[in-house]
Amino acid sequence: MARRGQGEASGVVRLSRLAEQYRAEVKEVLGPLVAAYYPALAAAEGPEYRKMLELSAKMALVGHACTEIAGETFDAGRRRLAILFGGCCFLADSFLDDFGEEAARAYLARFERLLASGWFEIRTPRERLFYVTVALMFTERDVLAPLLRQAILALHGAQAEDVMRRLEPWRMEGLARGRQLRLLRRSARNRSGHAILLLAIFLVQNVALSYLAGLFTAGGLIMFIDDHGDCHADLREGRVTYMNRLRDPERALRRIYAGHCRRIEASLAPGRGRTLLLEFLGHYYRSRLAKHRAQRAGGGAWDVYA
Partner 1 sequence: MNGEGGRPLVEQAAIAIQGLCREQGRDGEQGRGGWNTLVRIDNRAEAEKAPYRFDAVRGVVHRRGCPALTEDARSASYGLWRITAEDGAKRCKRCRPMPETKEVEGSEARETKAGPDLLFGLVSILDQFGNVLKERGKDYRETEEGRKIGAELAHFYQALGRREKEVLDTLLTSLEMLIGRVREAEEQVKGERGKRER
- For 105, 188, 281, 283, 289, the CA distances from 274, given in Å and listed in that order, are 38, 22, 11, 14, 23
Contacts (Cβ under 8 Å, ≥6 apart) of 118: none
Rounded least distance, CB 217 to partner 1, Å: 8
* Distance of alpha carbon 258 from alpha carbon 218, whole angstroms: 12
Rounded least distance, CB 52 to partner 1, Å: 18
* Distance of alpha carbon 112 from alpha carbon 119, whole angstroms: 10
Contacts (Cβ under 8 Å, ≥6 apart) of 285: 225, 253, 257
Rounded least distance, CB 6 to partner 1, Å: 31
Closer residue to partner 1 (CB): 175 or 306: 175
* Distance of alpha carbon 40 from alpha carbon 20, whole angstroms: 25
Neighbours of 19 (CB within 10 A): 17
Rounded least distance, CB 36 to partner 1, Å: 5
* Distance of alpha carbon 252 from alpha carbon 239, whole angstroms: 19
Neighbours of 110 (CB within 10 A): 16
Closer residue to partner 1 (CB): 150 or 244: 150
Closer residue to partner 1 (CB): 217 or 295: 217
Rounded least distance, CB 7 to partner 1, Å: 26
Which stretches of the chain bind partner 1, using CB under 8 A? 36-37, 113-122, 128, 131-132, 135-136, 138-147, 149-154, 158, 182, 186, 189-190, 193-194, 197, 208-214, 216-217, 267
Rounded least distance, CB 40 to partner 1, Å: 17
Rounded least distance, CB 216 to partner 1, Å: 4
Closer residue to partner 1 (CB): 46 or 118: 118
Closer residue to partner 1 (CB): 61 or 129: 129
Closer residue to partner 1 (CB): 158 or 231: 158
Closer residue to partner 1 (CB): 108 or 233: 108
- For 67, 68, 70, 114, 267, the CA distances from 207, given in Å and listed in that order, are 10, 12, 7, 26, 15
Rounded least distance, CB 209 to partner 1, Å: 4
Rounded least distance, CB 304 to partner 1, Å: 29
Closer residue to partner 1 (CB): 182 or 293: 182
Euclidean distance between the first and the last CA atom of the chain, given in angstroms as a whole number? 31
Closer residue to partner 1 (CB): 156 or 228: 156
* DSSP code for 241: -
Contacts (Cβ under 8 Å, ≥6 apart) of 2: none
Question: Are residues 289 and 228 in contact, defined by beta-carbon separation less than 8 angstroms?
Answer: yes
Question: Are residues 287 and 306 in contact, defined by beta-carbon separation less than 8 angstroms?
Answer: yes
